[in-house]
Structure 1
Amino acid sequence: MKWLNDFRELFRRDQVWSVMLPKQVDVNLDKNIALYIEDLNVSFDGFKAINQLNLYIKEGELRCLIGANGAGKTTLMDIVTGKTKPDSGSVWFGQNHDLLGYDEAAIARLGIGRKFQKPTVFEELSVFDNLELSLKTNKSVLPTLFARLSHQQDKRIAQVLETIGLTEQRQLAAGALSHGQKQWLEIGMLLASDCRLLLVDEPVAGMTAEETEKTAELLNKLAGEHTVVVVEHDMEFVRSIARTVTVLHQGSVLAEGSMDDIQKNKEVIEVYLGEEHAEGSEAAL
């Protein structure tokens, strides 16, 4: 049908009207800090989930957040992504974006993406289609219905597939992937959407040893070009990727430094040993 092809040609994503294209987001990183969190507080029914928290994440770094259950890790990510509003404090992306003034969709458009512990992919669609849907394009009706991938966008998807190690599975239904592959696909979806700051929640939970090793390689590969914050309970995995580790306890920063520094910190040891004796679990550190 020639008329349909001609109509679709009008909405090619590399030739679509400029007013319909997503706007480029300027993030001021003059001080090399991607995320500023200062004097942050939030309470739920009298429980202090975040307590005078101060945290600074450098542009391009790989930061690990650790802490016992209830330490405030998930609440912190909820605040950064706009799901939860704090009682007080400030959260800035670069020096020019006050995240507390944005909703979840606006924060995502800034280039902040979150990968939850359980993969959230479109299982009936192919790996390629999942990535195509994640591209940062105009999502209004006509461009969505009639637009075709440009050469540049097709190349971008190919690059992401190579990065996450799923080139051979590009036409496979996402539901047929292994658990680890679904995790990588979800990370790839964040990359396809041009995320600059990736918040990754327990990426290796339920993975095989081989998948865990590949995930460590992937996250290390992403750091530098992207800012990556990883929340994880698996200390062996943290040791394999850690450059800087932040320990949260009762909603505040208890300690920060290299993994070696953290393992020698008396306060951190007391917190984890206390949890060990209380629950009869193995020592976390």
Structure 2
Amino acid sequence: MMSRTLVAEGMNHQKEQLPETNPTAELLNEITRRDQVFSFLKPQYNPKVDVKNGMLLYVEGVSVSFDGFKAINDLNLYIKEGELRCIIGPNGAGKTTMMDIITGKTRPDVGDVWLGQQLNLLKMDEAEIANAGIGRKFQKPTVFEALSVWENLELAMAGEKSTWHLFRAVLSGEQKCDIERVLELIGLETQSRMLAGKLSHGQKQWLEIGMLLMQKPKLLLVDEPVAGMTHQEMDRTAELLLSLAGEHSIMVVEHDMDFVRSIASTVTVLHQGHVLAEGSMKSIQDDQRVREVYLGQ
């Protein structure tokens, strides 16, 4: 009987020695610490993104299928800060789907898409991605034709967009300087008071690029910017995009090979949702696989 009592007392003594976990106390302890940021406030972090080499956009292992068709198949793409990258490929290669994924319009089945080390684009919606610094220009220009060029740029300016705010807003000197700077970049200084609907096709394309620039983007996605342009407008568009590189990263999807040659330092060729080849324009032209699937040779 005594031995049972001793055993019971020993077990009770062991229980008393065990530290009790108190979630409330642990949270309070974390909140009151001054040597670190709260865990719920810490930004996401992807150690695989090599920002030391200026990496801005990181797309790796991305795949997506539509009704059994694999539009993107294990896509790997890396864009550096200030880089101007041309993306080419035959129809159905996955170029538009790739841009849809980057901008949040389409969610991939698998893979990673990051802007820098801290922005996981797959956990953000389209508006959040746009506000984070990714601007997209579609093939067909979408400008407010009943408004002037200046008013289009003013409406596109980064900041609050509520109706009441826009109605009461008065441009600061800095904001006016931003608009004037963009007007000069896109070559529409003398058309600033002209209705956008009266611009030529090429001028509307430049205005839309200017509207994206008013958002101060880190990355510009530009889809077939010279479709339907005259040769003079194409030359001016090439000058514009080259002038933006360095301050912005730019991804240009284009079919016109003459235009690509005029701006490209690095070209990525997509085929069946995968990177077929990547390198200088000369290396791409000399690649037999590219000749077979894209150039038809």
2:87 partner SS? strand
2:294 partner SS? helix
Which of 63, 73, 78 aligns to 1:51? It is 73
Alignment coverage as a number of residue pairs: 251
Two-structure CA RMSD over aligned residues (Å): 1.7
Q: Counterparts of 1:141 and 1:217 in 2: how far apart (Å)?
A: 36
1:237 partner SS? helix
Deviation at 1:142, TM superposition (A): 3.5
Find the counterpart in structure 2 of residue 221 from structure 1: 243
Q: Counterparts of 2:164 and 2:141 in 1: how far apart (Å)?
A: 30
- Within the alignment, does 1:118 sit opposite 2:140 as a pair? yes
Q: Structure 1 vs Structure 2: percent identity of aligned residues?
A: 65
C-alpha deviations, 1:195-223, integer Å up to 9, x for none? Answer: 11000000000000000000000000000
Find the counterpart in structure 2 of residue 75 from structure 1: 97
Structure having the higher Rg: 2
Q: Counterparts of 1:141 and 1:236 in 2: how far apart (Å)?
A: 44
Structure 2 counterpart of 1:32, one-letter code: G
- Within the alignment, does 1:245 sit opposite 2:267 as a pair? yes
Find the counterpart in structure 1 of residue 217 from structure 2: 195
Q: Counterparts of 1:258 and 1:81 in 2: how far apart (Å)?
A: 26
Structure 2 counterpart of 1:179, one-letter code: H
Deviation at 1:193, TM superposition (A): 1.1
1:172 partner SS? coil
Find the counterpart in structure 2 of residue 132 from structure 1: 154
Find the counterpart in structure 2 of residue 179 from structure 1: 201
Q: Counterparts of 2:107 and 2:221 in 1: how far apart (Å)?
A: 17
Q: Counterparts of 1:147 and 1:233 in 2: how far apart (Å)?
A: 41
Q: Counterparts of 2:275 and 2:82 in 1: how far apart (Å)?
A: 21
Find the counterpart in structure 1 of residue 30 from structure 2: none
Residues 12-91 of structure 1 aligned to structure 2 (within 5 Å)? 29-91=51-113
Structure 2 counterpart of 1:96, one-letter code: Q
C-alpha deviations, 1:100-149, integer Å up to 9, x for none? Answer: 00000000000100000000000000000000001111123432221100
Residues 145-160 of structure 1 aligned to structure 2 (within 5 Å)? 145-160=167-182
1:108 partner SS? helix
Q: Counterparts of 1:53 and 1:172 in 2: how far apart (Å)?
A: 43
Q: Counterparts of 1:184 and 1:80 in 2: how far apart (Å)?
A: 22
C-alpha deviations, 1:29-64, integer Å up to 9, x for none? Answer: 444111000000000001000000001001100000
Q: Counterparts of 1:123 and 1:79 in 2: how far apart (Å)?
A: 29
Structure 2 counterpart of 1:163, one-letter code: L
Q: Counterparts of 2:107 and 2:174 in 1: how far apart (Å)?
A: 38
Q: Counterparts of 1:130 and 1:140 in 2: how far apart (Å)?
A: 16
Structure 1 counterpart of 2:222, one-letter code: V
Q: What's the TM-score, normalizing by structure 2?
A: 0.82
Structure 2 counterpart of 1:194, one-letter code: K
2:160 partner SS? coil
Ranges in structure 1 where 5+ consecutive residues have no aligned partner:
1-26, 277-282
C-alpha deviations, 1:173-205, integer Å up to 9, x for none? Answer: 000000000000000000011111000000000
C-alpha deviations, 1:223-276, integer Å up to 9, x for none? Answer: 000000000000000000001000000000000000000000111111124xx4
